[in-house]
Chain A
Amino acid sequence: MSDGDWSEGAHRAILRAGIRLLAHVPDAGLAPLLARCGRDPSIRIVGLADEREGPALLAGAWLGGLRGLLACQSSGIGNLVNMLGVSAVGRFPLAMLVTMRGEWGEQNPWQVPMGQAVPAVLGAMGVRLFSLERAEDAEAVRDGALGLAFGSEQMVAVLIRQRLLGAKRLTSSGGGPP
């Protein structure tokens, strides 16, 4: 899957923001960024079993002086909603990168309910939303979002729209849905 090279700009913005911890539940849309960060020895990668671990993990890391980023698919937002309360009540900076499903040419109807609800759910919890639709905006959007997260101790999510990622095709097992 082509990612329109947004992951290169995202990686640069991550480094510029001083982020040295990347927690994630993988997604096909995130694969280029995960691979890029995985090759960067300055970034500690933590694979999560559940997105819900993300806000708590990043709050703990930030308590110790380490900035992190949570990357997950839109379905994972449904898993972590209550844990956003930890970030909100403690004003812990929370930077999230969310690859969207269920919105643009989606081939798996099971992805639609949560994907469509993500902006409203995150908004209801007080997360500031950014939308990335063009690869050339990746660095600027990420700089703005990460600056807000760490400079003003906010919860921030960059939604990487499915129009940029491309709708996932149903192909062979191991490369198909969800």
Chain B
Amino acid sequence: MSSGLDRRALVAALVARRGSALLLAGLGSPAWDLAAAGDHPQHFHLWGGMGGAFAMGLGLAIARPERRVVVLTGDGEALMGLASLATIAAQRPPNLALLVLDNRVYGETGGQPTATASGVDLAGIAAAAGFPATLRLESPDRAETALDLLLAAPGPVLVQARVDHRPLPLVLPLKDAVAAKHRLRAALGVEQERCP
């Protein structure tokens, strides 16, 4: 399949423009994509907890209303976390944006089709839930529009980007979640926990 956007180029463009935004990657290919775009304390990569990326982004967005939070994740992970689209729509965090890198397959497990391969419209689901801004990104000439939405539009935002499914170099992010959390909290100036 080669009818979609180059996922690595899209994520690299997001990272190049992110400014102070915090980027949270769901497990599998999106985590490798974010790692390939360069490591940074503002980035956090999940290696597990499938279905939890949207909810984790919501928590971070609530905690840091002054920062943009962008979750990038795959269509399989997004489908497992569909309930969170309702939760997020009800909370309406203006600083949260979700980017679904939709290759229509479970890419880490052998390329089995996901529900989006049958036409399930994640952007449509988000719009129906009440997201004020959604977009189906199908061609590279609209990538800048998608990035504008992800980084600046009043949220919550969901962009469903149709991306290629093809072999890519594996770039692994920081595996130690304890180290990753401490460096993100340090980047945000959060003090170490003390007993209340």
Chain B residue contacts of A64, Cβ below 8 A:
59-60, 62-64, 67, 188, 190
CA of A55 to CA of B55, assembled, Å: 9
The stretch of B32-40, B163-171, B174-182 that contacts the partner chain: B174-182
CA of A58 to CA of B62, assembled, Å: 10
Report yes or no: B49 in contact with A57, Cβ–Cβ below 8 A: no
Chain B residues bordering chain A, tally (CB within 8 A): 41
Report yes or no: B59 in contact with A58, Cβ–Cβ below 8 A: yes
Chain A residues bordering chain B, tally (CB within 8 A): 40
Q: Which residue of B lies closest to A16 (CB)?
A: B196
Q: A42 at interface (Cβ–Cβ under 8 A)?
A: no
CA of A153 to CA of B60, assembled, Å: 18
Report yes or no: B55 in contact with A47, Cβ–Cβ below 8 A: no
Looking at the assembled complex, report how far the CB atom of A81 sits from the nearest CB atom of chain B, in whole angstroms. Answer: 11
Q: Which residue of B lies closest to A146 (CB)?
A: B196
Q: B172 at interface (Cβ–Cβ under 8 A)?
A: no
Report yes or no: A151 in contact with B194, Cβ–Cβ below 8 A: yes
Looking at the assembled complex, report how far the CB atom of B191 sits from the nearest CB atom of chain A, in whole angstroms. Answer: 8
The stretch of B86-94, B112-120, B139-147 that contacts the partner chain: B86-94
Q: A128 at interface (Cβ–Cβ under 8 A)?
A: no
Select one of B53, B57, B87, B195 contacting A47, CB under 8 A.
Answer: B87
Q: B13 at interface (Cβ–Cβ under 8 A)?
A: no
Report yes or no: B62 in contact with A44, Cβ–Cβ below 8 A: yes
Report yes or no: A60 in contact with B57, Cβ–Cβ below 8 A: yes
CA of A153 to CA of B178, assembled, Å: 10
Report yes or no: B188 in contact with A48, Cβ–Cβ below 8 A: no
Report yes or no: A21 in contact with B193, Cβ–Cβ below 8 A: no
How does the 8 Å CB contact mask read for A109-125 relative to B, with 1 for contact and 0 for none?
Answer: 00000000000000000
Q: List 20 A-B contacts (CB under 8 A).
A: A17-B196, A21-B63, A57-B56, A59-B56, A60-B24, A60-B59, A63-B60, A63-B63, A63-B181, A64-B59, A66-B62, A68-B59, A82-B48, A83-B49, A85-B48, A85-B49, A89-B177, A90-B177, A91-B181, A150-B195
Known pairs A62-B63, A66-B63, A91-B181 / 5 extra A-B pairs, C-beta < 8 Å: A53-B87, A60-B55, A64-B188, A83-B52, A92-B181
B-binding residues in A (CB < 8 A): 16-18, 21, 44, 46-50, 52-66, 68, 82-83, 85-86, 89-93, 146-147, 150-151, 153
A-binding residues in B (CB < 8 A): 24, 44, 46-53, 55-64, 67, 81, 83-84, 86-87, 90-91, 177-178, 180-181, 184-185, 188, 190-191, 193-196
What 5 A-B pairs come out closest when comparing CB atoms? A64-B63, A60-B59, A56-B52, A151-B195, A90-B177
